[in-house]
Amino acid sequence: MIFLLTACGEEEKPAIDLEYPEIIDTENTFPVQCSIVERGGKIQFKALFRDNVELGGYSLDIHHNFDHHTHSTEVNDCNQNPIKTAVDPMLFIQTYTIPTGLAEYEAEAEIDVPSDIDPGDYHFMIRLTDKEGWQTIQGISIKIE
């Protein structure tokens, strides 16, 4: 009887998620460091996301790097154009949801690149968040010609 009362009083607590989600490069990943895209074309974004428990969502941010600021997480640098003042740069910020319950997700998005934007150096930022709120950021340098 004591065993039954003790067993009934104990609830199993869910494991605490203390791990960051992962952005995994595969042979299909795009863009990668130093990718070149054309004005008037499309960026076919592809990435593999993984988490130990459950993924939450992700956002993509494309902005100019005409001043050579840095927040790239890549090890190798790309050849950069000379510093210049932005006149009509591309700015893209979009948030995407990941279906509930997934610990792995192949993300895809098609992004239009306007034909009338300033060509040059840009950053392509990926922010991946898991269900618990942990975030991983990947910064990629790209060039728009």
Q: What is the mean pLDDT of the chain?
A: 91
Residue 3 is predicted with a pLDDT of 47
Domain-embedded: residue 7: no
Q: What is the CATH number of the domain that holds 47?
A: 2.60.40.10
Q: Is residue 8 part of a domain?
A: no
Is 136 a member of any domain?
A: yes
What is the rounded distance in angstroms from the CA atom of residue 114 to the CA atom of residue 144?
Answer: 10
pLDDT at position 77? 83
Q: How far is residue 48's CA from residue 33's CA, in Å, rounded to a whole number?
A: 16
Asked if residue 31 is part of any domain, the answer here is yes
Region 128-140 average pLDDT = 97
Q: Looking up tokens 């001043």, which residue turns up?
A: 67
Characterize the bridge pairing of strands 120-130 and 55-64. antiparallel
Q: Cα–Cα distance between 84 and 65 in angstroms, integer?
A: 9
Task: Domain count for the chain, please give it.
Answer: 1
| Residue 68 included in any domain | yes
Q: What are the structure tokens assigned to 70, written together? A: 């840095």
pLDDT grade, residue 8 (50/70/90)?
low
Q: Kindly state whether residue 73 falls inside one of the protein's structural domains.
A: yes
Query: What is the residue range of 102's domain?
Result: 19-144
| Tens digits of residue pLDDT in 38-93 | 999 999 999 999 999 999 999 999 999 999 998 767 767 899 999 999 999 999 99
3 assigned to some structural domain: no
Quote the strand ranges of the chain, DSSP E. 22-24, 35-37, 42-50, 55-64, 92-97, 104-112, 120-130, 135-144
- Look at residue 6 and tell me if it is in a domain: no
